[in-house]
Amino acid sequence: MSTNMIENAGTELWTEEFGDVTHPPILLVMGSMTQGVLWPDEFVGRLVAAGRRVIRYDHRDTGRSATVDFEQNPYTWHDIKDDVLRVLDAYGLESAHLVCHSAGGLLGQLIAVERPERVRTLTVIGSSPLGGHEGEVVLRALTGQPQPEGSLPPPRPEFVAHYTALMTAPPPADRREQVRRMIEEGRVLHGGGLPFDEDAERRLQERVLERARDLSAVVNHRLAYAACPDFEPEGVLGRITAPTLVIEGTHEPAKPGHGAIIAERVPGAELLTIEGMGHMLHPLCHAELAAAIVRHTAR
């Protein structure tokens, strides 16, 4: 395992590499406002043990990557997308297997459309279809607005209740309260289909806090998304040529049923449903997740 700070247009990105450099490369792309270490170490270890070279990284404004004053140095989600390509460049990779989670799946889908030569295979986990404008669906759900006909399925009630309450909650009074809120968010995102380990979640969130240059900087991702209404072009998923694996848990609270829509719109895509899994990568699902990805990337 080795770590490396790379630079893209003046922005430092923290990266970490595992495995033999001669093995097939997998780049792990996390979701919005989320550090790369949310790809669990045990899950990464399974991929490496199966003969994969694995790279994970912190998005800009998360973890150990650079943070910015957004008003002075604005950027868009197109820049976050381009960071994915710059990580590949930094490791001398013309292409890689992209494994993407949540909003990272949007990044992966758009790269597969725009730069197909850089994507050996695409795996999206707990994601929404490009062009579905899932953010608008969530906003309507949180504000009690009706969903237009034909929109994506909204989040589950427990997800809506949790984030609706957060919208009016005061800022955390101290670190202890911050960790408590992060644990409760983790509980909601795990979906309730499998046992929730509060102690493990506490250790993870303490790690997230300790690694963050500025935890509040993650909100810049929302500003960046709002700054590029053209980020989600519609009707383009049929142009994806990379072999695509779509994974969704039966207890997905944030994007229920979105995986099936991706699989339907991407030619030849395979849909894998994992029993009990919510939005996060539960330890009891690591073996099945890793085995599926190893099979998919064996090409």
Mean pLDDT by 10 residues, the chain (299 residues): 85 96 98 97 98 98 95 95 97 98 98 98 98 91 90 95 91 92 97 97 97 94 92 94 98 98 98 98 98 96
Question: How many CB atoms lie under 10 A from the CB of residue 231?
Answer: 21
pLDDT at 96: 98
Rounded to the nearest 5°, which phi and psi values hold at 171? -60, 150
Residues in the chain, how many? 299
What b-and-e string marks burial along 60-96, b requiring 16 or more CB atoms within 10 Å of the CB?
A: bbbbbbbbbebeeeebbbbbbbbbbbbbbebbebebb
pTM of the complete model beyond 0.85: yes
Contact 243, 299 (CB under 8 A): yes
Residue type, 16: E
Contact 24, 53 (CB under 8 A): yes
Domain that holds residue 35: 2-296
User: What is residue 264's three-state secondary structure?
Assistant: helix
pLDDT at 2: 87
pLDDT at 167: 85
pLDDT at 34: 97
Closest by CA position to 160, among listed 66, 54, 253? 253
Angstrom distance (rounded) from CA 152 to CA 265: 13
Q: What is the pLDDT of residues 229-275, one digit of tens each?
A: 899 999 999 999 999 999 999 999 999 999 999 999 999 999 999 99
User: What is residue 295's three-state secondary structure?
Assistant: helix
Please report, for the domain that includes residue 151, its CATH number: 3.40.50.1820
Per the structure, how many domains does the chain have? Answer: 1
Rounded to the nearest 5°, which phi and psi values hold at 181? -65, -40
Q: Which two tokens stand for residue 123?
A: 């795996």
Angstrom distance (rounded) from CA 266 to CA 244: 8
pLDDT at 286: 98
The secondary structure element, H or E, covering residue 222 is helix 220-226
- Strand order from edge to edge, sheet including 2-8: 2-8, 11-18, 53-57, 25-29, 96-101, 119-125, 244-249, 270-274
Determine what percent of the chain falls in helix, strand and coil, rounding each to the nearest 5.
45, 15, 40
